[in-house]
Amino acid sequence: MAAEAAGAAGQASILLVDDMDDNLAALEAVLTSLGEPLVRARSGEEAMKALLRQEFAVVLLDVLMPGMDGFETAANIKRLDQTKDVPIIFLTGTDSNSGYAFRGYATGAADYLTKPFDPWVLRAKVTVFLDLYRKNRQLQQLLLRDQARIDTMLERLSGIEHELARGELADADELRRRVSAMEESLRELRGRRR
């Protein structure tokens, strides 16, 4: 059964968009073993609402749907700052020679599969996007932590400058100790980024 919201931090939700319940059930059957939250949307409009409510690692998007079709939905996803980087895999039952694949890639799709699709191939492709999502989140957390340390060092340096300007820091050894501690922190940050 599909989860309606993302679970614990670290989980990477997958948005399944198709107007046919049987197709959604088939996608769930293939992807449930990945252990990530699966969120259903039965239209482009529902998909956009879901994307504005929570973050997704990847969107599996049917091409032919009533109302807002998959291409229009993808264009809307790519238009919004909050969702423009979410990878889209188009899924369609239409003829592969119809030009839809080209149109899908032109709309910003990361991939395009025709139905019936090989479940192993779909699971492998989704797994790649889940891994990329997790690595990106880890990198963002490291950068935030590093930025906080840099901000702290800059505040300390500013404090030292103020103390020097006011004549409160006359002891050269104390100044060397503080500067040395900041230099060590900077070396640590540089070493971790390599």
Residues 129-170: tens digit of each pLDDT: 999 999 988 888 877 777 777 777 777 777 777 677 677 766
Question: What value does the CA radius of gyration of the chain take, rounded to a whole number of Å?
Answer: 24
Q: Which homologous superfamily does the CATH classification assign to the domain defined by 14-137?
A: Response regulator (3.40.50.2300)
Res 3 pLDDT > 60: no
Average model confidence (pLDDT) across the chain: 84
pTM above 0.85, yes or no: no
Query: pLDDT band at residue 88, thresholds of 50, 70 and 90?
Result: very high
pLDDT tens track for 55-76: 999 999 999 999 999 999 999 9
Domain limits, the chain: 14-137, 139-193
Q: Which has the minimum average pLDDT: 4-8, 88-92, 103-107, 117-121?
A: 4-8
Q: Is the distance from CB of 189 to CB of 150 less than 8 angstroms?
A: yes
